[in-house]
Amino acid sequence: MSDPDADTDLRLAVATDAETLARIRDPLAERGIEAEFVPTSERTLALTADLGAFDVGFVFPSRLAEGGVVDALLEVPWVNGREAIQRSRYKAETLARLSRAGVPTPETTMVSNPVSEADLVAVWESFDPPVVVKPNSTTRGTGVAKCADLDSFLGVVDYLDLVHDYRATGDRSFLVQEYLADAVDYRVMCVEGEYVGAVERRLTDAALAEGRWKHNVHRGAEAAGVALPADLRVLAEDAADALGVDWLGVDLLVTDDRAVVNETNARPTVDSATKYEDGFYDRLAGLIRATARGER
């Protein structure tokens, strides 16, 4: 193990995607942190395997079962450990915690299957259509649908029921959420509860003309660095503070008269350095060193 002070080198076990690793490796190396990818899924792994000597991990794997094995083998503290990942993983829990803390969120109802059709109709009637239906624990816009009428809503729920009927399905819940038309979509990055940069996720004119509405970059949206207004920075910081997650992506939806936290991500992809504030990598390196020292 290395001394985690600023004048010594650290070894960082990176359990997040290759895109993030490619972007952080050189800037962190310049700050005395050697980042190396440790794959945690889609592999075979002996439970006595030697994964190498590391000082700290970044970040706890999203597949918690495999992550637990790697955690046991590495025996390192994590930037965003298991509890932090779980706190941001389930959308309904995240929104409930934020709402409880006074952070504005979209109107949302969680449905835990199985429920009756009468219950579903009652949920539908509590919203002004269209509504957004989304699984409780997916990312990148997977499985998210917009429903403009009751029959379409019940049809989408039918498909979810088929998935939830499978006995091995652990999460049998989903969210029904108000649709905020024409909202501007921001991904805001916070390190140790403080704003460090933001991007606006935009659809191309061609995508808008085709009726596309999801702003996920993995679904084709473009991410452009922006100077976020002060009030939105505070909103993102309030969300990070409420969740107590050190390394957090906060998704904001902003209309003419409202700004809400729509989702958060405790395993956010790192974007190009030009989309962050000056000192971003100094802040990230400081967080990694503080975690290695047991201070986070």
Domain with CATH 3.30.1490.20 in the chain: 107-178
Task: State pLDDT tens for residues 173-211.
Answer: 999 999 999 999 999 999 999 999 999 998 877 877 787
Cα 22 to Cα 80: distance, rounded to the nearest angstrom:
20
Domain 10-80+285-292 is found in CATH 3.40.50.20 = yes
Task: State pLDDT tens for residues 218-244.
Answer: 666 788 899 999 999 999 999 999 999
- Span 107-178: which CATH code? 3.30.1490.20
Cα 243 to Cα 87: distance, rounded to the nearest angstrom:
7
Cα 17 to Cα 270: distance, rounded to the nearest angstrom:
10
pLDDT at 168 > cutoff 50: no
pLDDT at 1 > cutoff 90: no
CB distance 293 to 8 below 8 Å:
no
Domain with CATH 3.40.50.20 in the chain: 10-80+285-292
Task: State pLDDT tens for residues 72-82.
Answer: 999 999 999 99
Q: Which residues, 6+ apart, have CB-to-CB distance to 101 below 8 Å?
A: 238, 241, 242
The CATH class of 181-266 is alpha beta
Q: Please confirm whether the linkage preceding 59 is cis (ω < 30° from 0).
A: yes
Domain with CATH 3.30.470.20 in the chain: 181-266
CB distance 171 to 136 below 8 Å:
yes
Cα 58 to Cα 291: distance, rounded to the nearest angstrom:
10
